């Protein structure tokens, strides 16, 4: 699963608060409005708000799934890259271990000198391969994260617009009901 960072969590909390305050505002309006036996305005609003919430949840889940699927299609095989780095590191250690078995100091220093050049070549190759892999992987991860953020931003926009539209329709419906009840009396 894709990890959700703090700003995304705050964004989700913000959307929940919007829904909460709209619901609280709706309750306050309902208490101020003339009592109507069949509050079809509120029922319609509740259904529209629930539908917007369900649509957002589905869209967010789809964004998350798309991001996770994209992670599978990275441009490098990170497991293979890691295995090659670990093999190189193991070769460096094995080379040094060969020298540690030599008792004579002069022969030991000669072994380290010769192995040192070989190990230097291995370490330089590890460095270049790791740097290249890191750069490509970072680019892939950034692209996946950007896709996820843009997708969830669009889902949030649809949600907020849907709830706002439903709320405006509620206010309009209430105003019409109030006009009807005032004209009756």
Integer Cα distance of 104 and 99 in angstroms: 10
27 vs 65, higher pLDDT? 65
From first CA to last CA, the distance across the chain in angstroms is: 60
> Does the pLDDT value for residue 33 go beyond 90?
no
| pLDDT tens column, 39-89 | 788 999 999 999 999 999 999 999 999 888 877 777 778 889 999 999 999
Q: 184 in the Ramachandran plot: left (φ > 0), alpha (ψ -120 to 50) or beta?
A: alpha
pLDDT of residue 32: 47
């Amino acid at each position: 699963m894709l990890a959700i960072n703090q700003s995304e969590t705050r964004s989700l909390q913000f959307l929940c608060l919007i829904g909460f305050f709209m619901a609280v505002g709706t309750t306050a309006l309902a208490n101020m409005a003339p009592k109507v036996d069949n509050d079809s305005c509120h029922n319609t609003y509740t259904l529209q708000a629930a539908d917007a919430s369900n649509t957002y949840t589905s869209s967010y889940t789809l964004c998350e799934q798309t991001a996770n699927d994209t992670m599978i299609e990275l441009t490098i095989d990170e497991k293979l890259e890691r295995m090659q780095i670990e093999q190189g590191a193991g070769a460096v250690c094995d080379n040094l271990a060969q020298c540690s078995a030599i008792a004579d100091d002069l022969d030991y220093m000669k072994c380290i000198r010769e192995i040192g050049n070989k190990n230097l070549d291995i370490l330089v190759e590890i460095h270049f391969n790791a740097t290249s892999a890191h750069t490509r992987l970072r680019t892939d991860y950034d692209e996946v994260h950007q896709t996820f953020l843009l997708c969830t931003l669009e889902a949030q926009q649809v949600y907020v617009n849907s709830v706002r539209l439903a709320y405006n329709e509620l206010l309009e419906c209430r105003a019409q009901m109030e006009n009807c009840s005032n004209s009756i009396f």
